[in-house]
């Protein structure tokens, strides 16, 4: 399950995993399930909406996920700062044993605001 602020490229990323390289034309507004196949492995990736109004619904799904991927855009400072809110929500609503991954998108064309060390530090301190 992939979560994180709106407009950071979650859908672009997940679509690319399924070899769909079209630009998403709309924001995600429900949970989209996408199947990613690699060899003998099949993973269902849940693409979720980042907009605030969907937050209540999203946290009710944490317990259904095998891995929770919290994403941010390294060129978007707000999406990094808002990770604290996401982490708080995870700590409140997810099982402590749920596997968590912090994922930072790097877009070649945009200036990078978050460095890898800060992201790693945050991930480590919250047991991602």
| Range in contact with ligand GTP (rule: CB under 6 A) among 9-17, 36-44, 84-92, 116-124 | 9-17
Q: Which of 83, 73, 79 is nearest to 128 (CA)?
A: 83
Is 11 an interacting residue with respect to Mg ion (CB under 5 A)?
yes
CB 69 within 8 A of CB 3: yes
CB-nearer residue toward Mg ion: 61 or 126: 61
Under DSSP, the state recorded for 23 is P
Minimum distance from CB of 10 to Mg ion (Å)? Answer: 5
Minimum distance from CB of 40 to ligand GTP (Å)? Answer: 28
Minimum distance from CB of 97 to ligand GTP (Å)? Answer: 26
| Range in contact with ligand GTP (rule: CB under 6 A) among 6-14, 37-45, 86-94, 120-128 | 6-14
Under DSSP, the state recorded for 24 is P
CB 9 within 8 A of CB 72: no
Torsion angle of C-alpha atoms 82, 85, 91, 93, degrees rounded to 10: -120
Is 128 an interacting residue with respect to ligand GTP (CB under 6 A)?
no
User: Measured between alpha carbons, how far is 24 from 47 in angstroms, rounded to an integer?
Assistant: 12
CB-nearer residue toward ligand GTP: 10 or 123: 10
The residue sitting closest to ligand GTP, measured at its beta carbon, is: 9
């Amino acid at each position: 399950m992939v979560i994180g602020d709106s407009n950071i490229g979650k859908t672009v990323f997940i679509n690319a995993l399924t070899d769909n390289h079209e630009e998403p034309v709309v924001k995600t507004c429900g949970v989209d399930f996408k199947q990613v196949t690699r060899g003998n492995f099949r993973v269902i990736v849940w693409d979720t909406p980042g907009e605030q109004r969907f937050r209540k619904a999203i946290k009710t799904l944490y317990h259904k996920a095998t891995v929770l991927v919290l994403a941010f855009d390294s060129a978007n400072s707000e999406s990094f700062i808002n990770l604290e809110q996401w982490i708080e929500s995870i700590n409140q609503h997810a099982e402590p044993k749920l596997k968590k991954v912090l994922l930072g998108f790097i877009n070649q064309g945009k200036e990078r605001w978050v460095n890898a060390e800060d992201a790693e530090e945050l991930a480590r301190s919250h047991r991602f």
